[in-house]
Amino acid sequence: MTLMTIRQSIQKGLREALNNDPSVFLMGEDIGEYGGAYAITSGFLEEFGSDRIKDTPISEATFIGAGIGAATVGLKPIVELMSMSFSLVAFDQIVNMAANLRYMSGGQISVPLIIRAPTGAGMQLGATHSQSFETWLSEVPGLKVITFSSPSDALGLLRSAVKDSNPIIIAEPAGLYGVRGDVSDEYYEIPIGSASVVKEGNDVTLVSYGHGIPILLDTREELIKINIDAEIIDLRTLNPLDMVSIDKSIKKTGRVVLLDTSRKLGGIMPEIVSRIQENSVDFLDGPIVSVGSENTPWPYNKNLENYSLPNVDNVIESFREAYKI
């Protein structure tokens, strides 16, 4: 095992892809000489050259469109957006083109395109740089949407994404790039569409992804103090969803709390609520609890931003109120 950060595990996965497959190349704004907005590609230009590491103009629609074109003719582009917020500028390319070309061509055209983007609030980046539009993109047929909360998951999921022939969105929690964890020195992959049981427990199922997992880990420690043994599930994939793992956990615990650090209105958790209602509501001893951020533009002010984001107290209070504990 090697201790590394999420940033380092992503770098390891990208280097592997570039070294192992000559059709792979990276492109995005300032990923070359500058090394990327979050330093993910620092040193890559010197290591792999300008044919493989391509700085682009400030036009997301243009360079994602170029990535789609390159993917359809046999290359494997890995495109970096400076922020998931900027995916809006390229929604036509992502949603209408990348997601639909394989279906509309009867399988004759594949789009093995990866779009990486930092996502989420909490870094005082203001309303236009803190959005979590992976929740919107997860609704689009033809796209796979993945995310992670640990270095091990980041590397394993990236390896699987590189081998996939579908367009894939990788939502990288910007606030977790520095999170450290053990990563196996043996080669491994994590299947896309498989959730992870981060902690096993018997009294309540806690579900989230990305930025939400550290909150749930702290929540679990607080719940232990009142003799509540919580099970934590990290979704890891937003499309396709692994409802089998969630339903299995609910049947064991009889209680469920869903945490989304994007806004409570919309997001991925309402879809999970609907599926729980269809599949496993009879196993619940109380209501489905859903916790999310305030429905407001993300404030720049740090205190207001923290107030808008969910925290451990929000999760525990919502759980105790719903289940009368």
For the annotated catalytic residues, the residue numbers are 60, 129
Residue count (the chain): 325
Q: How many CB atoms lie within 10 A of CB 301?
A: 11
Cβ 309 vs Cβ 263: under 8 Å = no
Q: How many CB atoms lie within 10 A of CB 127?
A: 14
CA separation for the pair 3, 59 (Å, rounded): 37
- Looking at residue 54, its amino acid is K
CA separation for the pair 4, 151 (Å, rounded): 7
Question: Cα–Cα–Cα angle for 38, 39, 45, nearest 5°?
Answer: 135
Cβ 194 vs Cβ 153: under 8 Å = no
Sheet (strand 144-147) strand order: 53-55, 24-28, 76-80, 114-119, 168-173, 144-147, 237-239
